[in-house]
Chains A and B, each alone.
Chain A
Amino acid sequence: MRYTTRSRLFSKGSHLALAWLVTLAFILPIYIAFSSAFKTQEQILSSPLSPPIPFTFDNIIDALQRPDNLIQAGLMNSVLVTALTVGALIPLASALSFYISQRTPKVKAILLGVVALGLMVPPQVVLLPIVELLQAVGLANSYAGLILSNIGGGYLSFAVFVYVGFLRSVPQEVIEAARVDGASDLRIWWKIVMPLVRPATATVGIFLGLWVWNDFLNPLFILGPLQGQTITTGIYISLGQYSTNYAQLFGIMFLAAIVPLIGYLVSQREFIHGLMSGASK
């Protein structure tokens, strides 16, 4: 008895050690990038794995003092594009989902079928016609064009599917009761449905925010190279020259990566929960 207890303890300890070993090996590239942001070029090249001792903020300061304002402008543009896209998509998608959920099964199936297309269409397939369309209406190379195509594209499909799935768990009686009290559809949606589907809104907001923020193809080809950039396309266009200046490269990348990373760590619980509810369906 004593023996088995001890051997179990040992295997528990070795399991933990093995798990940490595998995890750390897996995220080693991220450790290298983040620790290198605080090292000098010589330190990075001579010992990429060692911790940043002595610690330097020079790379970060250099990145923030670039004459082209890459980080500041890129972050501002990304915030603008992401906030407006997600801010428009959430009410549009939840209203559409509530509308769909109230239709007859046949209409519901047709609408959901059309919306499902957006989940699997590769963005490259629609990129060229969208660029041409925006040119035709004078929105080429503009943030308005980028935001509009974000709202109308495949992101809507994801949001609608999350909301429709969640609305199934909202009892119809609650909505009926409001209707008996004389509430309009608009009021029912805004005052009753929206608060009830708040967890779905969290999932939609987090994932869409991340995807729009990290998007590369649309900003690159819709904004064009000369019209200012989001942080993602900005670092793509500017970092080519730093192929060997690792101190500069890692400094800029640290600043570009820190926003989504902090966002993830803060909303981690909702993140994983959103993934789990998606996976169990």
Chain B
Amino acid sequence: MSADTRLRRPEPGLAPSERRAATGPRPTSARTRVRRGLGLAPIAWAAIGLYLIFLIYPILRSIMTSFTDRNPLQLESSFVGFDNYTEMFNDPNLHRSLVFTLVVVVFVTVISNAFGILFAILLNKTTTNFRIMRTLVFIPQVLSGVIVAFIWRSILTQDGLLNSSLAGMGLIDSPISWIGTPELATMSICIVVSWVTIAFTTVVYTASLQAVPAELYEAARMDGANAFKRFHHVTFPMIAPGMTICVVLCMITTFKLYDIIAVLTGGGPAGSTESAAFYLVNVAFTSNRFGYSSAISILLLVMTALVAYGVTAILRRREAQL
């Protein structure tokens, strides 16, 4: 609005910034820079306002709620200090969910980066065949976690397609409970999540590989470096920035994992595949313990932040050394 009126303002009432600009380029001082783009302030602050309401305020609100015994079934909630936080130390369900989360995070990060690099090297050609393959490999990323989990559930359930195929080939006598026993269910979640993240890491690593100049390999070959040495001294350092992104994104995605668990195992059997993120939603919406759930969410937030900043810092330093 104000921007329009300024446009129509009659001469000689040029705005100071415009007059200054009209006299030719000048070194931008902090003062003149501040005035620029202010016509957009209403839209910019509308965006910031929504962001404050729907992201920043909820975080602060979670912190406050975590010190209360808030429960939607009671009208009043009272301040309980650090009770919710001390309860976390003694909650075996939470401990189990944290261990499970950690197992999945480590497994998924290691497997999807290792396979991502392998796939990227295998598919790093520019011919049509390889382009088609790269397009296909990314598909697990395009489908929603719910669909991915339903596909895998139809394969992995007791009377699912994997067991019926294995039985058909005479490899097993009785069906294996892929998502019905705690260890196998954990393994299944790890594999399904990795399957999705490999799709992502493969494409990012291929992009990193294509940025490696071919001369580097030529030079290494001239120097008599074998395939392993070429990987170790040329490929690996060159894909380090891609690796930082892949490792951090794999970890963050796995920390907030919800839909695949909800569909594939529902957190079972006996809560063995409840991740921390899954557990806190259950505590909030099934047990109605908003206070305790908020405390767990703050723990999750701190863990994610530490991992995101810590791992990024470590990997960036490594990038610089390579």
A: residues with CB less than 8 A from B are 15-16, 18-20, 22-23, 26-27, 29-30, 32-33, 44-49, 91-93, 95-96, 98-104, 107, 111, 114-115, 117-118, 120-130, 132-133, 148-149, 151-154, 156-157, 176, 179-180, 182-187, 189, 210, 213-217, 221, 232-233, 235-236, 239, 243-244, 246, 249-250, 253, 256-257, 260-261, 263-265, 268, 271-272, 275-276, 278-280
Contact = CB atoms under 8 A, between A and B. Distances in A.
A32 to B, nearest CB: 6
20 contacts: A23-B137, A27-B136, A30-B151, A32-B161, A33-B151, A92-B46, A103-B34, A120-B305, A125-B301, A126-B59, A128-B62, A133-B57, A152-B55, A153-B54, A156-B50, A185-B40, A186-B40, A187-B3, A216-B144, A264-B139
Leading 5 A-B pairs by shortest Cβ distance? A185-B39, A152-B54, A102-B37, A152-B50, A214-B144
A29 B196 CA distance: 11
A118 B55 contact: yes
The A interface is mostly helix, strand or loop, or mixed, namely helix
The B interface is mostly helix, strand or loop, or mixed, namely helix
A216 B245 CA distance: 24
Contacts of B242: 279
B54 A253 contact: no
B138 A29 contact: no
Interface of B: 3-4, 6-7, 14, 17-18, 21-22, 25, 30, 33-34, 36-41, 43-44, 46-48, 50-59, 61-62, 65, 119, 122-123, 125, 129-130, 133-140, 142-147, 150-155, 157, 159, 161, 164-165, 168, 195, 198, 200, 203-204, 207-208, 211, 241-242, 245, 252, 255-256, 258-259, 262-263, 277, 280-281, 284-285, 290, 293-294, 297-298, 300-301, 304-305, 308
B146 A235 contact: yes
Contact of B39 (A47, A184, A213, A272): A184
B203 A272 contact: yes
B125 to A, nearest CB: 8
Given A32-B151, A148-B54, A280-B207, A128 B284 contact: yes
Given A125-B298, A217-B258, 18 more contacts: A19-B123, A23-B136, A30-B143, A48-B161, A49-B165, A120-B305, A124-B281, A127-B284, A128-B65, A129-B62, A152-B51, A156-B51, A185-B37, A185-B39, A239-B150, A243-B157, A250-B154, A253-B151
